[in-house]
């Protein structure tokens, strides 16, 4: 796709978050002008400083809640975007179990508002941040887009499944929006500059921040939940996708939507590496890539954990002309460099 004239604007809700901030960089590199909407309830303003350091200029940011209809209409009117990438959502699985109504309200209401506003302002292109959580524990691996969705293990996971259904049903009703839902697996890593990365608030919910914080001495040890699963070393298997690769996938999805004929359309695409890695192999790879030992202990299985899940990425390769490029070792090295900067 060739972009000419003024850079087309793209609204990025949750654009100061982990995946959102990296996608902002990828958008600029691809010739777009990202406009961030983020109320910083689940992110840090320091991400804007990191983006400035990487890009050499500020990125427009509206520090507002994307569920405010009047404010969002004003932003659409003022910025005249040609597309929206929607990340903004609460994402802590445990909290969603304790506060389900918060998650249903915060994760679904803004989605519906965006789908109402986009046709009003003639914005056709929509990329939705979905998740492999919609698959649960699949009966067959690797997971394809045709794999049946299973009941979610948490209200958070359910908001992703319901979000997909909302988009599908709205487009079936012929709202003039072209949408792609990207079901991605386990994002890890950081920008190679170490200017932006994952900033978990409180206790991390993901493996790699636990590894880096333990390696840095912030945590005394890492608990590996279960070593008696039916996997090569007994620990759970996941598909770990580098956040820079994941960001590039969002930009490729956006480009494909822009190139597609006008009219209502909807599809889902898995974004992963196509490889499964055990928890213990991730720890060993981190140690080899950084030269830093990780103090870990084996604990009991954790309720709700899926034994193994990894993606079939054939559709992403074919439809988006995209594939993951960065190795697990590179991702873990970048995550460690980011962690060292935070110390």
Give the residue numbers marked as catalytic: 156
55 membership: H or E segment, kind and range: helix 46-55
Task: Evaluate whether 19 touches 87 at the Cβ level (below 8 Å).
Answer: yes
Closest CA relative to residue 326, chosen from 283, 272, 287:
272
**Is-contact 152 134, C-beta < 8 A?**
yes
Could you give the CA distance from residue 71 to residue 13 in angstroms, rounded to a whole number?
Answer: 13
HSE-CB for 180 with a 13 A CA cutoff: 24
Q: Residue 241, class by beta-carbon neighbours within 10 Å (0-12 exposed, 13-18 middle, 19+ buried)?
A: buried
**What is the DSSP code (8-state) at residue 232?**
T
CA neighbor of 220 nearest in space, from 306, 296, 115:
296
> Whole-angstrom Cα distance, residue 319 to residue 178?
14
Give yes or no for a contact between 301 and 203, defined as CB atoms under 8 angstroms apart: no
Q: What are the phi and psi torsion angles at 177 (to 5°)?
A: -130, 135
Instruction: Determine the Cα–Cα distance for residues 187 and 240; give it in Å rounded to an integer.
Output: 6
């Amino acid at each position: 796709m060739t972009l000419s004239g003024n850079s087309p604007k793209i609204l990025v809700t949750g654009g100061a978050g982990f995946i959102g901030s990296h996608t902002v960089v990828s958008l600029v590199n691809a010739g777009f002008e990202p406009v961030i909407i983020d109320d910083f309830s689940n992110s840090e303003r320091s991400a804007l400083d990191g983006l400035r350091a990487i890009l050499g200029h500020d990125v427009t940011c509206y520090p507002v809640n994307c569920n405010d209809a009047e404010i969002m209409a004003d932003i659409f009117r003022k910025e005249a975007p040609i597309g929206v990438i929607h990340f903004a959502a609460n994402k802590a699985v445990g909290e969603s179990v304790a506060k389900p109504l918060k998650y249903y309200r915060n994760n679904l209401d803004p989605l519906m508002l965006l789908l109402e506003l986009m046709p009003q302002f003639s914005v056709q292109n929509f990329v939705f941040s979905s998740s492999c959580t919609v698959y649960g524990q699949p009966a067959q691996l690797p997971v394809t887009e045709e794999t049946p969705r299973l009941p979610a293990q948490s209200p958070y996971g359910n908001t992703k499944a319901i979000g997909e259904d909302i988009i599908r049903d709205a487009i079936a009703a012929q709202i003039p929006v072209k949408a792609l839902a990207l079901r991605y697996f386990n994002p890890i890593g950081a920008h190679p500059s170490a200017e932006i990365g994952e900033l978990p608030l409180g206790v991390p919910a993901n493996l790699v921040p636990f590894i880096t914080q333990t390696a840095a001495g912030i945590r005394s040890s890492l608990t590996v939940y279960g070593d008696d699963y039916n996997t090569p070393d007994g620990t759970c298997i996941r598909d770990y996708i580098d956040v820079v690769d994941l960001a590039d996938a969002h930009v490729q999805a956006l480009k494909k939507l822009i190139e597609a004929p006008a009219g209502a359309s909807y599809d889902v695409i898995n974004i992963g590496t196509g490889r499964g890695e055990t928890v213990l192999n991730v720890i060993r790879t981190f140690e080899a890539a950084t030269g830093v030992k990780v103090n870990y202990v084996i604990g009991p299985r954790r309720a709700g954990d899926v034994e193994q899940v990894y993606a079939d990425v054939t559709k992403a390769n074919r439809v988006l002309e995209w594939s993951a490029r960065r190795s697990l070792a590179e991702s873990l090295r970048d995550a460690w460099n980011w962690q060292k900067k935070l110390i």
